[in-house]
Amino acid sequence: MWILDSAYRNGGIDLWTKEGGAVTRVHHPYDPPFLVHFTDPHASHDMIDALEERYNAEECTIRTVFGSLPGYRVFADRRVAEVIEEQAQYDVQLFNVDVRRDQRFMAEHGIFPCSGNNSDRFYPEIFHDLDVITIRIHGEPERSATLPEVEVVHERIEHFSGPEGTVLSALFSRISSLDPDVILMPDADAWMPRLQRLAQDRGLVMPFSRNGKYRSMNSRSYWSYGKMEHKDAALVPDGRILIDTERSFVFREGGLEGVLMSARLSGLSPNLVSRFTPGTLISSYETYEAIRWDIAVPFRKSDGETIRRISTLQAADRGGMMFQPRPGVFWNVEEIDFTSMYPSIIVQENLSPETIGHPEQPGFLPAVLKPLLDLRIRTKQLKKTDPAFNGTDSILKWMLVTCFGYTGYKNAKFGRIEVHEGITRQSRELLIKTKDIAEEMGFSVLHGIVDCLWVQGAHVSLLKARVEQETRLHLECEHFDWIVFLPLADGFGAYNRYFGRLPDGSVKVRGIAARRHDTPEFIRAMQQEMLTEMGRAGTVAELDAVWDTVRGIYRKTIARLPSASGQEMAISRRISRLNYAHRCIEGAAVRAYREQGASVAPGMKIHYVVTDAKRYQAEPVWAAKTFDQQYYRGLLDKAWEEIAFAFRKRNQPACQPEKCANLSAW
């Protein structure tokens, strides 16, 4: 059976499966217990007696990554577990309390979503016969007074327009007749509550769910890796996959294949994984593996950081290693990159919370990450000849990247800060060792950042082979015909701002305007056009020859600036707060959103146009009629400076904008 969706309903698990072109729902009664270990059972005997009488609690042995504990199975829900915590004054350990029941059911029964019978969960390909349609609703879901035009894409493209009731009825009728397995819909999570209200007002049945039931996910704002993030509310249908293609990180990075692979690995419904972050995916994957191995999943983390001397902390907590580059243009450069360095270190060095102080003990994290790492190495090779694997490889990359950060997360089920520090320590030693090997073999090291080096020299394959032999880690090499390392304001090299030409003529960029998410499309298009022209140049002479063309693009863009539209000038920013102590453009944009009646929350991404920078005035992109030409000319000139640096003579100081009175003269 090919599991399409799963949900906990009516005291059991609903599994939606597709076989022979038909989708069916099978209900499995399931009421699993949680586990509790009392530090002092004698002091809690009254509570234990009550649990045995009321919830059929029974003695058991609880298997954890740290060893076995005596405890009890309690056939009750999370509310009872929280009462036990409170009454025992938190002198208890609880397990399997907050594991999703459908995920737990599948892990215990050895089944998983998005795969047929007897399939390998770690097989790189996803085989399916899912019927997929795309629905596009034109307009702003938070602002549209009526339902605008709707477009449905399947074998052909259909448009529905006219009175709101007619459009809604036609859309619902088409969904019912097509009966798709997957609906791809930009801003679906914003539109669904509105569609539900419109359907109720008109007495219509909303057909997104195959049984009329929906699961609600609440919106929330939260901090993650030092940034405020926002998760939108959602209505999740039963029996059908609905993906918000505009807001889903997993879909944006991996496409439908990435969503299905994430579901297969984590044991969660594709509906859920499409709305989760990579961090949630890797923690869900670890949870599925723990349940599959009959290891209890802690409810509250109890293995806190031990007390250590400040000198020990200073030596341990130093992060990754970086070598500052010399700014300039360099020819025939090789980038050597460790494939998933941090998870590889976890596996190779047996780093896990329970192996701290006991390195001889097999670790949980290395055991569960190894098949994921092997799968990533395989998809990275496969995508070189088959682009169909790009999405799967991208999702695996993000899951493995976040598994490192998750080891240091204070509430991680299977994390510990000492593991986090051990990983970075090993990574620093590996990068230094690789640098020493490269220089010993006659290579010039130009730049290095955490898990990769840029070098110049002959026979990079020999360097790759020796580093792999001595580090026992997998490497990938990428050749640049030329690469530009940009300067900081002080003239020293920037760590993460560069662009360079690959052998196929494409230009790889990092940190410049064309890559930044907040760059207006008008400026992004200028840089991308310039980079396309520069990508035609494979030699020094050819790069010099495109100077006039590139400069012409800059002049043409300046001339077109006054007639550009507000849409082209939209700046996208993720806001961290709603109230600002000082005047700033971002604060003005938040106020403008509110004045337009649009809801905002910390962590949300807003799109605005600066109308008067000196007076700190901005408008939402849909309301902007004009823009501040002087302000956007400044952004355009900064983007031009990034490109123009590649054409200056080597070792010539970078032109400082304030010293260049007439940049258009370039």
Residue 342: what pLDDT?
Answer: 92
User: What is the domain-level CATH number for residue 55?
Assistant: 3.30.70
pLDDT-derived band at 665 (thresholds 50, 70, 90) equals very low
Do 53 and 175 belong to one domain? no
- 262-283 pLDDT, tens digit each: 999 999 999 999 999 898 999 9
Based on the fold, state whether residues 116 and 85 are members of the same structural domain: no
Within-domain flag for 428? yes
pLDDT at position 666 is 35
Quickly state the pLDDT bin for 662 (edges 50, 70, 90). very low
Residues 149 and 233 in one domain: yes
Residue 294: CB atoms within 10 A of its CB come to 9
Residue 182 backbone phi and psi in degrees, to 5: -130, 130
Strand 328-338 to 475-487 pairing: antiparallel
Lowest mean pLDDT among 67-81, 378-392, 648-662: 648-662
Q: Of 286, 309, 342, which one is at a domain's C-terminal end?
A: 286
Mean pLDDT, rounded, for 127-144: 87
Answer yes or no: do 328 and 470 share one domain.
yes
Structure tokens at 27: 């209900």
Degrees, nearest 5: CA angle 13-16-19: 140
Please give the Cα distance from 9 to 96 (Å, whole number): 19
Does 380 fall in a domain? yes
- Asked whether residue 366 is assigned to any structural domain, the reply reads yes
Give the domain extent around 162: 112-286
Together in a domain, 188 and 326: no
What residue ranges in 178-301 does DSSP mark as E strands?
A: 182-184, 214-217, 220-224, 227-231, 234-237, 241-243
Any domain includes 85: yes
Residue 6 inside a domain? The answer is no
In a domain, 249, yes or no: yes
pLDDT digits (tens, 9 = 90+) for 540-596: 889 989 999 999 999 999 999 999 999 999 999 988 888 888 899 999 999 999 988
* Residue 486 sits in the same domain as residue 407: yes
The three-class DSSP label of residue 657 is helix
Say if 568 falls within a structural domain. Answer: no
Res 521 pLDDT > 90: yes
- Asked if pLDDT for residue 224 goes beyond 80, the answer is no
Average pLDDT (397-419) is 84
pLDDT of 656 over the 50 cut: no
Is residue 254 included in any domain, yes or no?
A: yes
pLDDT in tens, 332-355: 999 999 999 999 999 999 999 999
Question: CB–CB of 484/500 below 8 Å?
Answer: yes
One domain for residues 174 and 91:
no
Give yes or no for residue 176 having a pLDDT over 50: yes
Confidence bin at 404 (pLDDT 50/70/90): confident
pLDDT > 80? residue 663: no
Q: Are residues 400 and 271 in the same domain?
A: no
Q: State the Rg of the chain over Cα.
A: 28
Same domain, residue pair 158 and 225: yes
> Is 46 in the same domain as 116?
no
Average predicted confidence (pLDDT) for the chain: 90
Per-residue pLDDT for 108 more than 50?
yes
CATH of the domain at 329: 3.90.1600.10
Taking only the tens place, the pLDDT of each residue in 592-619 is 999 888 888 888 889 999 999 999 999 9
Domain check: are 238 and 136 in the same one?
yes
Domain boundary among 464, 481, 511: 511
Record the pTM: 0.88
Identify the CA nearest to 489 among candidates 658, 236, 272, 320: 658
Does the pLDDT of residue 148 top 90, yes or no? no
Number of domains present in the structure of the chain: 3
Do 37 and 145 have their domain in common?
no
Burial (CB < 10 A; 0-12, 13-18, 19+), residue 53, is: exposed
pLDDT at 307: 72
Which of 484, 511, 538 lies at the terminal end of a domain, its last residue? 511
Q: Transcribe 356-393 into DSSP letters.
A: TT-TTSPPHHHHHHHHHHHHHHHHHHHTTT-GGGHHHH
